[in-house]
């Protein structure tokens, strides 16, 4: 037991949830410092309960700690009450396991899962006493700051704050980086020279070694290395054999209830669908599966080592996992006897899934989920979301027969070329599903219940490395207008009383849009907004839209430049220096096809030539068939 | 169905784990240890666990109790080892016993508790407080205001204090268990400990901190927040035999550490 605590009892007892700061959780790793050459602080820049729910950190935490010479510890953003106490008392931010200051570590790694956590990166650097920018960190007196995760596919708005971005799946090249680090520390190499050497390791993007030139209109002229011998583009690297990749059999189990309070079993990476709005669907290509035998073994180990009472299958589209029936057979047996619940997010509604769901859920309480994403067939074709009205009605019909009566719909507003008819389609499809219920379930079988439909809309934010990276994004007032139209559309339906409607806040989406396709000029805005008190932007109660807008104005930055423009086909994007495996020409082709509201085939039926075949694995290597693989979840 | 009572300690950083989270913690321990635990009926079966008396966040203990239900009668020694092998450091099963099938829950049986209190640095009363506190606790009437669900009531704490002493840590000997020593590596051996044996449980519950609070008020001093570091030595239930009524640790079925009051 590490009895040491960085915070006094007094502080811990006066702040909310002291368990966030005490470490010592089951399966957390403690090492003897004299055996350790590299101390790695791994940070999820949000509150503990969110960060502890993230699978990626658990994987790398386990992998790093499997190396004898590395000790990886965890760091999260102190919640706002603790943040204040630490500033008032000048207490440096510490890592949970050793309770030692982060400042004294060799590496500080951030996982970057969403854009609205960017000010929390600065909070963590600030509380740690680490200079904000890579340019200020000239010697070895503070850790190498490295970032990974989906937001690194356009890291330019935070480029100044990082020494290295790791592009690709973390399992592959950290060992090489650590070896280089140890060697450079041993032979007295400077920090700068270490970074130059690191630039030659696959997937390592060192932003300070590349110079950006802009055109007069503010778009990019060129991005070039400033040092000879380093790559002009950084290519994503992926795990080619998931069955043999490192998988953490002893994840850390928090004392407090994390958002994801269960075992997460990753069944596959990547997705075959190619929905045009979806960034994950492009970034993690090609689809690679784990064998069900390996997953079964991992599930048993995880249950034994964590004691969780729930296991969740994780992937972008679980129904597309080809060995799902075998895996579920096994899990139903194994979990049933142990009183463990199974949760199955992202399942397509069909006879198979309804049968499984009836075994693992309380039908009366659970709901069907349709991520239709758009209200009309035309718009679903624009976004290449291969789900039809017929799919939805057939699935609902079967489910109503099976006893379900709750349906959740997810839509996005603001897709390219969206018209008022498309928006009206949202109310119409909800109404048809309600009508389907009344047609399917006769009055005497309703037991005093009725159908409950919930429609939720979020606002579409175009992301890099998607066919919609050229698309304009709506302004907040346009979004709100669309939400009002959606609401009116729903209210005009016959079954409107059975339909609930929720929509998201628009201002936060706008900021997310700015950062998603932003460039390096935004670094100073993020720093300035942080200095003015912006933090926890992803949390509605702390998001300060006015301060952000004021900051942009003060610095002469036009935020609409990043969100509202339709980008010309030949524009150079800030993220063009990265190669995510999918080619720009493929994305452009898809962008043009979407305009004609034409769909593209999924990877199981036909290869669309996206470029990911270069990795030589997964679905790209499988023969293409006419097999009906159902609709996209 | 077999009812089992466990005695456990809570020490070190895990002292900050709240009551409900400790419950969830034990549910996971039982799964990791593959204990033949009994689940409730219904669509979402759960383990039926109950604690004797919640410990406040930040307090340590060598005498917490948890009742659980199993499908089959375990070997007590093996059960303790099995659980300790998957336990987080800081929480340790110290003892266990099989209960009579109709025995009441630990929660309703709690009758007394033995406590050790020390002051946190910088939050002590004025020097020489030890003698003053001894004199205070010797008085016959110790009035205090107790907050109840229905409002406030004036009580006399004296009859609720069964035993009391103020003693240096190195000289402290357990009231019920003479072998018991107060071990806490973070504390100096000479620190003054307020060692109490008080009435506990639902009826005549006395929070040990109340004694100190009222003492300081009488001295004209304000007690600062979180001034007291609290440690529970043990929790007791009441019994009676030919020698009279006694208090005994809740898993001590042989009565090794009975204390007659
Ligand atoms: S190369 Fe073809 S099969 Fe492979 S991911 Fe791209 S579109 Fe799918």
Last residue in a domain, options B103, B134, B168: B103
Report yes or no: A32 at the B interface, CB cutoff 8 Å.
no
* Tens-place pLDDT, residues A296-329: 999 999 999 999 999 999 999 998 999 999 999 9
What fold characterizes domain A34-235? Rossmann fold (3.40.50)
Residue contact A339–B89, C-beta within 8 A: no
The nearest alpha carbon in chain B to A30 belongs to B89
Residues of chain B with pLDDT > 90: what percent? 88
Residues of chain B with pLDDT > 70: what percent? 100
Q: Could you state, in order of their start, the residue ranges of all structural domains in chain A?
A: 34-235, 262-517+573-621
- Residue B36 shares a structural domain with residue B83: yes
- Residues of B with Cβ-Cβ distance to A258 under 8 angstroms: none
- Residue B90 shares a structural domain with residue B121: no
Q: What is the pairing mode between strands A368-373 and B49-51?
A: unpaired
Report yes or no: B85 at the A interface, CB cutoff 8 Å.
no
Q: A473: which residues sit within 8 A by CB, 6+ positions away?
A: A414, A460, A461, A462, A510, A513, A563, A564
Q: Which residues of chain A have pLDDT under 70?
A: 1
Range of the domain at B76: 2-103
**CATH number of domain containing B71:** 3.30.70.580
Question: How many Cβ contacts (< 8 angstroms) between chains A and B?
Answer: 80
Cα four-point dihedral sign A327, A329, A333, A338: positive
Q: What is the pLDDT of residue A360?
A: 84
**Atom of ligand 1 lying closest to residue A582 CA:** 6
Closest to B28 (Cβ–Cβ): which among A18, A24, A253?
Answer: A253
Q: What is the pLDDT of residue A1?
A: 62
Thinking of the domain A262-517+573-621, which architecture would CATH place it in? Alpha-Beta Horseshoe (3.80)
Specify whether the CB–CB gap between B14 and B60 falls below 8 A. Answer: no
Question: Rounded to whole angstroms, how far apart are CA atoms A354 and A301?
Answer: 28
Three-state SS for A208? Answer: helix
Domain count, chain B: 2
Residue B11 pLDDT exceeds 70: yes
* Tens-place pLDDT, residues B182-215: 999 889 999 999 999 999 997 789 999 999 999 9
Q: What is the pLDDT of residue A505?
A: 83
Last residue in a domain, options B51, B79, B103: B103
Q: Predicted ipTM?
A: 0.94
Specify whether the CB–CB gap between A422 and A378 falls below 8 A. Answer: yes
Q: What is the pLDDT of residue A600?
A: 96
- Residue B35 shares a structural domain with residue B123: no
- Residue B116 shares a structural domain with residue B201: yes
Closest to A22 (Cβ–Cβ): which among B16, B28, B186?
Answer: B16
Last residue in a domain, options B68, B103, B138: B103
* Tens-place pLDDT, residues B233-249: 999 999 999 999 999 99
- Residue B8 shares a structural domain with residue B66: yes
Three-state SS for A459? Answer: strand
- Residue B118 shares a structural domain with residue B247: yes
- Residue B89 shares a structural domain with residue B180: no
- Residue B67 shares a structural domain with residue B159: no
Alpha-helical (H) ranges within A384-456 are: 389-402, 420-440
CATH topology of A34-235 equal to that of A262-517+573-621?
Answer: no
Q: What is the pLDDT of residue A521?
A: 97
């Amino acid at each position: 037991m590490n009895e040491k605590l960085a915070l006094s009892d007094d502080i811990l007892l006066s702040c909310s949830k002291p368990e966030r700061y005490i470490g010592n959780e089951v399966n957390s790793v403690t090492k003897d410092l004299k055996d350790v050459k590299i101390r790695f602080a791994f940070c999820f820049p949000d509150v503990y309960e969110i960060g502890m729910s993230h699978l990626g950190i658990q994987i790398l935490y386990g992998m790093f700690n499997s190396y004898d010479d590395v000790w990886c510890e965890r760091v999260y953003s102190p919640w706002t009450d603790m943040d204040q106490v630490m500033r008032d008392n000048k207490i440096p931010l510490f890592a949970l396991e050793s309770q030692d200051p982060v400042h004294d570590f060799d590496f500080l790694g951030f996982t970057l899962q969403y854009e609205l956590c960017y000010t929390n990166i600065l909070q963590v650097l600030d509380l740690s006493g680490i200079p904000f920018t890579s340019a200020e960190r000239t010697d070895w007196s503070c850790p190498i700051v490295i970032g990974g995760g989906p937001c690194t596919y356009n890291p330019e708005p935070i480029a100044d704050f990082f020494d290295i971005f790791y592009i690709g799946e973390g399992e592959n090249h950290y060992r090489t980086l650590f070896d280089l680090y140890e060697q450079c520390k041993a032979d007295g190499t400077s920090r700068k020279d270490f970074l130059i050497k690191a630039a030659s390791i696959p997937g390592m993007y060192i932003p300070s070694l590349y110079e950006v030139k802009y055109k007069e209109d503010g778009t990019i002229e060129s991005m070039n290395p400033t040092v000879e011998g380093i790559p002009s583009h950084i290519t994503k690297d992926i795990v080619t054999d998931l069955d043999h990749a490192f998988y953490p059999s002893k994840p850390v189990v928090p004392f407090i209830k994390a958002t994801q309070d269960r075992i997460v079993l990753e069944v596959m990476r990547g997705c075959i669908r190619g929905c045009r709005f979806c960034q994950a669907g492009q970034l993690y290509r090609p689809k690679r599966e784990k064998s069900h035998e390996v997953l079964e073994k991992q599930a048993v180990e995880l249950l034994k080592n964590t004691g969780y009472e729930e296991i969740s299958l994780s992937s972008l589209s679980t129904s597309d996992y080809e060995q799902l029936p075998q895996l579920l057979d096994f899990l139903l047996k194994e979990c049933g006897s142990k009183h463990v619940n199974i949760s199955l997010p992202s399942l397509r509604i069909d006879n198979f899934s309804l049968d499984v769901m009836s075994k693992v859920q309380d039908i009366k309480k659970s709901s069907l989920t349709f991520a239709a994403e758009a209200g009309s067939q035309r718009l679903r074709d624009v976004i290449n979301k291969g789900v039809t009205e017929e799919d939805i009605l057939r699935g609902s019909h079967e489910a109503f027969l099976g006893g379900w009566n709750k349906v959740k719909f997810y839509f996005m507003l603001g897709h390219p070329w969206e018209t008022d008819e498309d928006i009206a389609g949202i109310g119409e499809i909800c109404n048809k599903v309600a009508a389907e219920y009344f047609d399917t379930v006769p009055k005497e079988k309703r037991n005093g219940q009725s159908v409950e439909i919930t429609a939720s809309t979020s606002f579409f934010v175009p992301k890099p490395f998607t066919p919609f990276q050229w698309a304009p994004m709506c302004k907040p007032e346009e979004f709100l207008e669309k939400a009002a139209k959606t609401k009116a559309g729903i209210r005009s339906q016959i079954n409107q009383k059975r339909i609930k409607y929720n929509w998201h806040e628009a201002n936060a989406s706008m900021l997310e849009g700015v950062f998603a396709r932003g460039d390096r000029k935004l670094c100073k805005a993020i720093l300035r907004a942080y200095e003015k008190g912006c933090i926890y932007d992803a949390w509605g109660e702390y998001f300060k839209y006015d301060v952000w807008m004021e900051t942009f104005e003060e610095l002469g930055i036009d935020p609409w430049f990043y969100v509202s423009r339709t980008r010309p086909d030949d524009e150079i994007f800030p993220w063009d220096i990265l190669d995510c495996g999918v080619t720009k020409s493929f994305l452009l082709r898809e962008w043009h096809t979407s305009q004609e509201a034409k769909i593209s085939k999924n990877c199981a039926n036909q290869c669309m030539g996206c470029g990911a075949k270069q990795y030589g694995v997964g679905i790209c290597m499988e023969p293409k068939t006419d097999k009906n693989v159902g609709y996209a979840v | 169905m077999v009812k089992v009572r466990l005695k456990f300690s809570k020490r070190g950083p895990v002292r900050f784990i709240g009551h409900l989270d400790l419950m969830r913690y034990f549910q996971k321990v039982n799964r990791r240890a593959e204990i033949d635990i009994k689940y409730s009926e219904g669509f979402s079966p759960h383990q039926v666990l109950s604690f004797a008396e919640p410990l406040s966040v930040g307090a340590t203990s060598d005498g917490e109790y948890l009742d659980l239900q199993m499908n089959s009668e375990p070997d007590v020694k093996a059960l303790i080892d099995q659980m300790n092998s998957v336990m987080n450091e800081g929480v340790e099963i110290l003892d266990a016993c099989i209960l009579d099938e109709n025995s009441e829950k630990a929660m309703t049986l709690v009758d007394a508790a033995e406590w050790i209190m020390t002051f946190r640095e910088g939050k002590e009363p004025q020097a020489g407080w030890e003698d003053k506190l001894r004199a205070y606790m010797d008085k016959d009437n110790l009035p205090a205001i107790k907050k109840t669900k229905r409002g406030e009531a004036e009580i006399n704490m004296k009859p609720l204090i069964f035993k009391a002493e103020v003693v240096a840590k190195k000289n402290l000997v357990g009231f019920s268990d003479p072998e018991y020593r107060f071990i806490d590596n973070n504390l100096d051996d000479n620190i003054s400990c307020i060692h109490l044996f008080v009435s506990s449980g639902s009826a005549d519950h006395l929070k040990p901190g109340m004694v100190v609070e009222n003492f300081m008020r009488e001295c004209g001093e304000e007690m600062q927040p979180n001034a007291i570091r609290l440690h529970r030595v043990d929790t007791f239930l009441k019994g009676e035999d030919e020698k009279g009524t006694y208090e005994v640790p809740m898993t001590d079925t042989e009565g090794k550490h009975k204390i007659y009051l």
